[in-house]
Amino acid sequence: MTAALTFDGLDSVVLDIEGTTSATGFVVDVLYPYSRERFGALLAERGAEPAVRRAADQVREAAGEPAADAARIERILGGWLDEDRKATPLKTLQGIIWSEGFARGDLVSHFYPDTIPALRRWHAAGLRLHVYSSGSVAAQRAWFGHTPEGDLLPLVEGFYDTENAGPKQSPESYAAITAAIGAEPARTLFLSDRPGELDAARAAGWRTVGVRRPGEPYFEQGVGDHPEAACLDELTLTRRTP
């Protein structure tokens, strides 16, 4: 059962993407195949680029296969995609492919209908908006830069991923984000669909709301004992008075 939720005295709102602002189905059905079809060419033709080389080395290390060639790395990435593993080098390489796809007009991001109006409302109310997703910062920036309503990057102050903040189920990652943005943990609200992420944010002193959207993978599991909302319209957020 969900109801209207009010949070007063906030400074920052930090948003998860998949399952929270946007549909997991779109990521899995549109973005994943787009990257799967392009990993081979990226690894074979652009393997000398520093970001590609570093990610390839991280794949070799994570897989315990120091001699893996480009074809083998492509197969490892395909396996990780099949199991929806949120591995940092997979997300790095997807971010390169997706950001180029968004830039050339192949891709337009997806947001649930309640999300963009809520982001505009909270931004206009003076709340600082940040994103923390397993998707790489490059992917996040492309996602917000190429929406059905155009470029929403001006609404978002900062982007965090598993590379610049750390794993999403570790309280230390949330502590690192509030330290980086200069916000008090108790005045920072995290919105996510995953209970493990919400638990970690709360352990770091953040306020939390579990976004529980029908049809999303975590809907049945629920969000534990966190306040829950079925969509962002249910949230009334006010900024701290200076």
Ligand X SMILES: CSCCC(=O)C(=O)COP(=O)(O)O
Q: Minimum distance from CB of 16 to Mg ion (Å)?
A: 4
Distance CA 35, CA 138 (A): 14
Task: Indicate whether 27 belongs to the interface with ligand X (CB under 6 A).
Answer: yes
- How far is C-alpha 69 from the geometric centre of its chain's CA atoms? 29
Identity at 193, one-letter amino acid code = D
Q: What angle do CA 42, 46, 47 make, to 5 degrees?
A: 95
Residue whose token pair is 């315990």: 64
Q: Minimum distance from CB of 1 to ligand X (Å)?
A: 24
Q: Minimum distance from CB of 198 to ligand X (Å)?
A: 12
Positions in 173-212 near ligand X (CB under 6 A): none
Distance CA 166, CA 145 (A): 23
Query: Considering only residues 139, 183, 191, 198, which one is a binding residue for ligand X as defined by CB under 6 A?
Result: 139
Phi, psi angles (nearest 5°) of residue 120: -65, -40
CA distances, 210 to each of 65, 82, 174 (Å): 38, 26, 16
Positions in 32-91 near Mg ion (CB under 5 A): none
Positions in 39-98 near ligand X (CB under 6 A): 86, 91
Query: Considering only residues 12, 133, 178, 188, which one is a binding residue for ligand X as defined by CB under 6 A?
Result: 133
Q: Which residues bind Mg ion (CB under 5 A)?
A: 16, 18-19, 193
Q: Which residues bind ligand X (CB under 6 A)?
A: 16-19, 27, 31, 86, 91, 133-135, 139-140, 143, 168
